[in-house]
Structure formats: structure tokens, C-alpha cells
Amino acid sequence: MTLAASFLGGAKSRLLPRSIPFRFFAAAASFHVLAWLVLLVSAGEATRFRGGLGPALAAVHLLTLGVLVTTAIGASVQLLPVATRRTMHAVWPIKLIFWLTVPGLMALVVGMYEAKTGILVPASAATAGGLLLFCGLLADNLRRAGSLPVVGAYGWAALVMLVLVIAFGVALSLDEERGFLPDHGAGALAHLILGGFGFMGMLALGFSHVLIPMFALASAPAKRPSLASFVAASTALVLGTLGALAGSRSLLTVAALVGLGAAALHLWLMHRVLKTGMRKRLGLSFVLIRAAWIMLPVTLVTGLVALYGLAGDNGGTLFGFLLLFGWLLTFLVAILQRIMPFLASMFVAPQAMGGSPIVSELANARSLRIHAVCHGVACAVLVVAILLENATLARLGSAVGLIGAIAFAWFTADAIRRIWPTS
Ligand code: HEM
């Protein structure tokens, strides 16, 4: 039995009310538009961003917290119970997570944009509260799940990373006000590694072991090489975080090389899944997934080259851009445009009972094609803008990215419209 069959078998009985996952997806689609808009406004500063409060940092957190983390929460509270066959105990904690995290991150972004610590510090506490509650929910679900050891391992690692990225985030916010950290820059780099490669990276790699076989109608990757890739990725994360905190170039170099090994093994496993899968025509979303898979090693190599000052003055900025926009955002919007129609199809009448073929109709939406082209062009133009430190090019790239984000929001709104009961 393929993973898809066992996954789908239990799905309907573990469905949360439609407003639960889709409120997170709707929020993420809105923050996606805002992230590109704020990047457009701060384009001049963004091409040479090296941290510090201001509009560029606000754009980074509209993307990281607003799009990546919000989607990760919405997807995991619905997909994990289906994958682990363990229902969530109650729905109210998820609603509380939403009402703490989303308003909290909006205030956090305003505090960053305006460089006002009087807003930044309480907002980071509210956001941290919501995210820690999510950590509790995730831990409870993972604790009761034994059937998927590889996904479980990635889930626990992502959970530990999220607790650490929150801790560093709150410490960095407090340090803006009180200046107690021995090395703020080192803390910020560790925070980036824990958030980008740690929480989001481990979640993306872990969910790939369930979702890619499900989409390709294939069996799950072999356990041993999967666990080897997990161990290598975790080792790279530990070395990378320690290297950032110690300011050690050699530790960061070893971390990047081990990370490249983990990425190569993961990509080989995913290649095997697609090769053995029964479904060969995987559609537009897999054009984006394959692009994201290329961006992962490209990001690590760029980090290495930047570490030795060989990627130009803005090597560090380019590394951060490729990590967040090139790999993570590309992968996430690709997965989101698959899971939203899949989840939506659970809430509408099956075709046999007069329902519309929602999955295929949504998958072929013109909005997705507009988004994919704009996303690709925007990322390419912004890479050149960062290398040349050219604000005009950065504005052009951000404007194209904004059009793409609006198209994706249109797709999200269309999916939600179709599942909302009219009477
Ligand atoms: C409670 C949640 C969070 C808070 C309070 C927070 C706070 C902060 C603060 C204050 C900075 C500025 C550091 C500086 O001066 O440069 C920062 C930087 C950053 N944060 Fe967060 N953050 C949070 C969550 C996240 C998450 C989940 C991610 C990624 C997935 C993330 C990614 C980044 C990145 C990429 C930077 C720039 C690092 C650099 O300056 O090199 N943050 N964050």
C-alpha cells in the first residue's frame, strides 16, 4: 500500500473544522503580499541588509513569521494528526495560538519597522507565547505518534529549534533595549540558522517524507538513508549554531559541508521517490519544488563562498535571501498550492454527488501560473540587485514579487470561497 493510500485512509475522520487550517493559510497569503510590499518600500536598504531594526527586518519577519511559520502551524495542526493517526485533543488551543501569534507578529513587525523597542519587546513576548503554545501542541502529538519514526525525528528536531529561535528572538529584542548580549551579531546569525535551517528547514525536510510520496503515489523513502540524512542535517545545525555563537569560521565551514552532505542524501531520496512513483505528471507545483530543491545546495554553497569573502560585499545578504526566498518560500508556496485543494476537496461534495472536481480545477488555476512566473523572475532580479547593490533593480524585482503574491492570494481566496458553505 502506498503512503498516499494509508495517509488518505484516515484523513476524513481527523479533519479539523475548515476555519482552523484555512485561517492560518489566509493569514499567510496576506502576509506574503505585505512582505513583498515592505521589501519594495525598503528596497534601497534591503540589497545590503546586515541585520538591525528597520523596514528590511520587518520584511524578513513578515516572511519568516508571517508566511513560513504561520503556514507551518496551519499545515502541521491538520496534517500531523492525519499522518500520525493521533487526533488533536481540542480545537480551542489552536484558536488561542492564532490569536496570540498573528496579532503578536503584526505588532512585532511594526516595532521592527519603526525601530520602537516599546512596541518590539511586548510584541515579541506575545508572539513567543503563541509559538510556545504551538510547541506544546506539537510535542503532545509527536509524543503519542510512533508509526512514522523519520517524520517524528524531524518533528522533534524542528520543535527544539523553534524553542531556541524564539528564545534568541526574545533575547535579541530585549538586547535592542538593554544591550546585555556579549555579541548581538553572533546571536542574530545563530537566530537566522535556528529559524531558517532549524525550524523551517527540518519541518520542510520532514514533511517531504510524507507529502512527496503522497503526491507522487510512491512508497516512503528507505528508513536507513532517511535517518542518516536526518543525523547529518542535525549535526550541521548544531555545528552551525555553535560556529555562529563562537564566531568560528572553521566550525561554520564544517557545518556547511556536512549540511551539503545531508542535502545531497535528501535530494537523492526524493529523486528515488519521484522515479518509483506511479504518478509522473506532477504539474506546476513540482516545477517550484524542483526549483526549491536546487536552491537548497545553492544556498549552502553561497554561504560558504560568502564566509570567505568571495561573494562580494553583500555575500551575507545574498545567503539570507536565497535561504528565505529562494529555498524556503519557493518550497512552501509549492506545497501550499497542493495541500489547500487537497484539504478543500475533503469539505466539498465528491464529484459523484454533484461536487466540482475542485483539486484539478484549482491546480490549473491561472493565478498559480502568474504567481510561479512572477516568483521566479522576482527572485532572479533580486539576486542580481543584491550582487550589484542596485536599488532600482531591487524595486523592480520586489514589484514583480508583489504581483505574484497578489495572484497567490487570489488563488487562496478562491480555494476558501469554494469550501465555505453558502447557506
Ligand atoms: C518570537 C519570534 C521572533 C522574534 C521576537 C524575533 C526577533 C528578531 C530580532 C530582534 C532580530 C534582529 C536582530 C538584529 O539586530 O539583526 C531578528 C533577526 C532575524 N530574525 Fe527573528 N525573531 C523571531 C522569529 C524568527 C523566526 C521564526 C525566523 C525564521 C524562520 C526569524 C528570522 C530572522 C532573521 C533571518 C533575522 C536577521 C538576522 C540577521 O540580522 O542576520 N526570526 N529577529
b vs e for 136-159, b when ≥16 Cβ sit within 10 Å of the residue's Cβ?
A: ebbeebbeebeebebbbbbbbbbb
Is pLDDT at 243 greater than 70 in this prediction?
yes
Distances (CA, A) of 20 to 16, 26, 84: 7, 10, 19
* Probe target for ligand 1 pocket from 62, 106, 191, with the most ligand atoms within 8 Å of CB: 191
Identify residue 50 by its one-letter amino acid code.
R
Ligand 1: residues whose CB is within 6 Å?
A: 51-52, 57, 60-61, 64-65, 68-69, 108, 124, 127-128, 131, 165-166, 169-170, 172-173, 176, 184, 188-189, 191-192, 195-196, 199-200, 320
Q: Which fold has domain 12-418?
A: Cytochrome C Oxidase; Chain A (1.20.210)
What are the pLDDT digits (tens) for 252-302?
A: 999 999 999 999 999 999 999 999 999 998 999 999 999 999 999 999 999
Is pLDDT at 170 greater than 80 in this prediction?
yes
Sort residue 249 into left (φ over 0), alpha (ψ -120 to 50) or beta: alpha
Cell of 133: 503554545
Q: Strand, helix or coil at 66?
A: helix
Higher per-residue pLDDT: 233 or 147:
233
- Tell me which of 10-19, 107-116, 384-393 is least confident: 10-19
Is pLDDT at 305 greater than 60 in this prediction?
yes
* Probe target for ligand 1 pocket from 108, 119, 161, 172, with the most ligand atoms within 8 Å of CB: 172
CB 409 within 8 A of CB 29: yes
Residue 370's CB is within 10 A of a number of other CB atoms, namely: 17
Task: Report pTM.
Answer: 0.95
CB 237 within 8 A of CB 263: no
Residues 6+ apart with CB under 8 A from 37: 402
